[in-house]
Structure 1
Amino acid sequence: MLVAQNQKGILYSVHDRSKDSLLQLRNNEVFQCPSCKEPVLLRIGDQRIPHFAHIQSTHCQSFSEPESLYHLTGKLELFNWLAAQSLFPVLEPYLKTLKQRPDLYVATTKTAIELQCSTIDVKQFRDRTDGYRMVNIHPLWLLGGKRLKRIDKDQFYLSAFDWMFVRLIQKKPSLLFYCSESKKFLFLHHILPMSSTIVQATLKVVDPKKLTFNDLLTPTTNSEFPIKHWLELKKSWRLNATQYPSQSMKKLLHYLYAKQVYPSLLPSEIGIPVPSMYWIHTSPNIWQAWILLEFIEGQPLSSVFSFQSVYDYFNYKKRNHLFSLRELPLITNSHYSFAIMEYLHVLVQVGVLRQINRKTFIRSRSCYFPRHIEEALEQDQHFLLQHKRLFL
């Protein structure tokens, strides 16, 4: 930590103090944590920046993580960046009503800034976020830049923990990082899940000097849907779906074999990217296959059904562990049901369904099953290119 208090409750910060003044301070004062009131030691060395540290193991919960040099440095750099914009940030303020200490607080916008460099407990993350919201403070979470794992030019690995920090920018999932080594902000825009952990996304690296605080609060993006990459993923799935299948895939394969359907020859209407599919951890090839083949194709032509019945069907599969969802605490104006409705709308656009009213549909036609893999791949390309406006 960079702020502690003496026995009289006076707060002291190590920020912008010379080494000599810090040594004098350490010799003349006894410090404690403003949150848990346990004693802390002012550490002044040559390898790390000066900071306060609890003298012994403690259960202090005011910070979201143990602090590394990388985290301490990033916190100070963000403080200086905000101060240069005359925003008067407060470093590590103790919010007594919440018993929390955000890394930084900007009073003019009521924003608590948290730079998260290591993994913390999911409940702790949710509690801190909900606590801020409860007192009308906007939580702005940044991930440490070292957490970003790049696989290819536009492909990245995101853990379930990383996904929790996703927020919507122009209705598209995005992540914000800050790296104290490169001294850069990193924006990961238009995150498109290609599998449970691999995503397609656009990375934008920005020098803080070219960015304002408002740019962090309301960033913009003009990235487009990567149709080429999605087609490559669809092809790979068709060719390799039976190799090392997950438990949910094994259950789908068992269903398909009973129906004498090859997984490589499923209709092109399965595995369709829809805007809100980021909610669903399970591959769209799997959850859409169940909805289309078992629920929709299992009904006679011209039969009428409601969105609620499809939603109930999805939840039944979820309870039986065929589908799983992601934890997305920072997304408050969306829901996984959006992805289900968006998929039904795609099926309306291609004529599989007809929509009677806002939440009622009729099965209009049967899906076409390709006869061989070449035809399947050709249909995938035709389908996605013809209907790409649905995914942008």
Structure 2
Amino acid sequence: MKTLLTALTSGGKQVVLTRQWSLVNLREWRKNETFHCPQCKEQVLLKVGDIVIPHFAHQKQTTCRDSFSEGESPTHLLGKIQLYELFSRLQLPTEMEPYLPDIRQRPDLLVTWRNEQVPIEFQCSTIPIARILERNAGYDTVNMTPIWIVLTPQKVQDSSVFVLTHRFTQFQQHFIRHIHSHTKEALSVFITYNPLKQQFHYLSHFIHLRGTAFVVCHSVMRSAHQTIPFAIPATPSIKDIEELTRQYQSARRKYLRSVIGYNQRGIHHRFLRACYELRVQPIQLPAWIGVPTFGQAAFTESDSEWQLLLIAAIRHTRNTPFQLNRSILHSFVKTFEGESSRQLEACQSYVDFLKERRIDIYRLDQFMGKDFVLEILSGRFLAMHAKN
């Protein structure tokens, strides 16, 4: 059955079911009033139970072509109501479930901010990625940039720490916002909302570990404290950056210790073969191989792996980072899956790091100060927020 939170009365007045309506008043009201779908104008039922959130529902045999979502969960309905109340409290013109005829789409909310209409989508369930891309493309044709808010994952809800490791599913990765700063690196933010506790959970300042795993900053904001546009997470404190560094280095050590024991391909594995040819054990890699430089998330592999392979490729040409021909980088990224343009940027950033530190890539025993990863991350985040 089609569910919605907006309807028209018999007199044509729009009704939005927020929490200001008591169950008693709604039950009394429906005795003397009829309600109609804002789109197809067919009569809808006002459903008022003791457990389920009050809502309007189409009849099962509706002819409404552009009807509302099928069977929205109570969590989704509650979240939409709370977000509507939030924007209304901030005195922003807000429409609940408006139909956009030019693109035949209906966002959960449409908020007008600084003369711009911003669709808000509260996503509680996993849907095909193709549908997300299709909806984004539709908004783009009418010059709208949607903000997607995802239901807070249970692991994040249960966590009270400020720095945590999170594996982002392919689905979740499509909702990461990239807020551009004056630097070449954008601030990545994953906004989630928990209607039961009326809390926003932010995951930000992503540092890629391996595959879909990232170490991130985790902050919580009560709905009552939210602002528009959505608050940008603050710069991590020195203590937070130290914890980000510790978790990054811990993941690096764990990967290097496990790569032999868990790999059945042995010397046929590119990383292990490179270690063999360079006469170095994985766990003995110098600290300057496996560092969180700009753009590292372009590779799904561990930083230790792709950076060692890049060192091996440069050494094979008998050049140094100062003599590097960019064609070498183009040939290198072709051997990896992923977006080559982003991978080229990551490689160039790592080469720049090697040059700045004046690292001799032919000496794998070259010493590095123990705090240089902390320095990298501190500079990275401070620069990102300097003029944001």
TM-score interval, normalised by the smaller of the two chains:
0.7 to 0.9
Alignment of 1:234 with 2:271, yes or no, is: no
**Measured at CA, do residues 237 and 279 of structure 1 come closer, stay the same or move farther in structure 2, by a change above 3 Å?**
same
Check the 8 A contact 1:111/1:138 in 2, yes or no: yes
User: Hey, what does 2:271 align to over in structure 1?
Assistant: 252
**Measured at CA, do residues 72 and 279 of structure 1 come closer, stay the same or move farther in structure 2, by a change above 3 Å?**
farther
User: Hey, what does 2:281 align to over in structure 1?
Assistant: 262
**Measured at CA, do residues 151 and 380 of structure 1 come closer, stay the same or move farther in structure 2, by a change above 3 Å?**
farther
User: Hey, what does 2:111 align to over in structure 1?
Assistant: 106
Per-residue CA deviations over 1:47-74 (Å, capped at 9, x if unaligned) read 1111234555999887688621111111
Distance (whole Å) between structure 1 residues aligned to residue 350 and residue 152 of structure 2: 34
**Measured at CA, do residues 104 and 283 of structure 1 come closer, stay the same or move farther in structure 2, by a change above 3 Å?**
same
Per-residue CA deviations over 1:345-367 (Å, capped at 9, x if unaligned) read 11221224xxxxxxxxxxxx433
Shift of 1:213: 1.6
What is the letter of the counterpart of residue 257 of structure 2? L
**Measured at CA, do residues 182 and 232 of structure 1 come closer, stay the same or move farther in structure 2, by a change above 3 Å?**
same
Amino-acid identity (%): 24
Check the 8 A contact 1:173/1:191 in 2, yes or no: yes
User: Hey, what does 2:209 align to over in structure 1?
Assistant: 194
Greater mean alpha carbon deviation, residues 46-55 or residues 120-129: 46-55
Check the 8 A contact 1:185/1:208 in 2, yes or no: yes
For residues 218-367 of structure 1, the aligned pairs below 5 Å read: 219-223=232-236, 225=241, 226-245=244-263, 250-257=269-276, 260-293=279-312, 295-301=313-319, 304-314=323-333, 316-318=334-336, 323-324=337-338, 335-352=342-359, 365-367=360-362
Distance (whole Å) between structure 1 residues aligned to residue 211 and residue 38 of structure 2: 41
Per-residue CA deviations over 1:135-168 (Å, capped at 9, x if unaligned) read 1112111111245536783213222222221123
What is the letter of the counterpart of residue 298 of structure 2? W
**Measured at CA, do residues 389 and 11 of structure 1 come closer, stay the same or move farther in structure 2, by a change above 3 Å?**
closer
Alignment of 1:368 with 2:353, yes or no, is: no
Shift of 1:30: 6.9
**Measured at CA, do residues 89 and 268 of structure 1 come closer, stay the same or move farther in structure 2, by a change above 3 Å?**
same
**Measured at CA, do residues 26 and 267 of structure 1 come closer, stay the same or move farther in structure 2, by a change above 3 Å?**
farther
Check the 8 A contact 1:64/1:120 in 2, yes or no: no
What is the letter of the counterpart of residue 276 of structure 1? G
Distance (whole Å) between structure 2 residues aligned to residue 29 and residue 56 of structure 1: 17
Q: Gapped runs of 5+ residues in structure 1?
A: 327-333, 353-364, 371-375
What is the letter of the counterpart of residue 162 of structure 1? Q
**Measured at CA, do residues 51 and 281 of structure 1 come closer, stay the same or move farther in structure 2, by a change above 3 Å?**
farther
Check the 8 A contact 2:314/2:328 in 1, yes or no: no
Check the 8 A contact 2:122/2:150 in 1, yes or no: yes
User: Hey, what does 1:44 align to over in structure 2?
Assistant: 48
Greater mean alpha carbon deviation, residues 81-90 or residues 43-52: 43-52
Alignment of 1:209 with 2:245, yes or no, is: no
User: Hey, what does 1:185 align to over in structure 2?
Assistant: 200
Equivalences, count: 358
- Please report the RMSD computed on the Cα atoms of aligned residues, expressed in angstroms: 3.8
Per-residue CA deviations over 1:227-263 (Å, capped at 9, x if unaligned) read 2222222222222222334999944324544665422
Distance (whole Å) between structure 1 residues aligned to residue 236 and residue 316 of structure 2: 38
Q: Gapped runs of 5+ residues in structure 2?
A: 382-388
Check the 8 A contact 1:174/1:189 in 2, yes or no: yes
Alignment of 1:384 with 2:388, yes or no, is: no
What is the letter of the counterpart of residue 373 of structure 2? L
Secondary structure at 2:77's aligned position in 1? helix
Match of residue 162, structure 1, among 172, 175, 185: 172
User: Hey, what does 2:385 align to over in structure 1?
Assistant: none
Shift of 1:22: 5.6
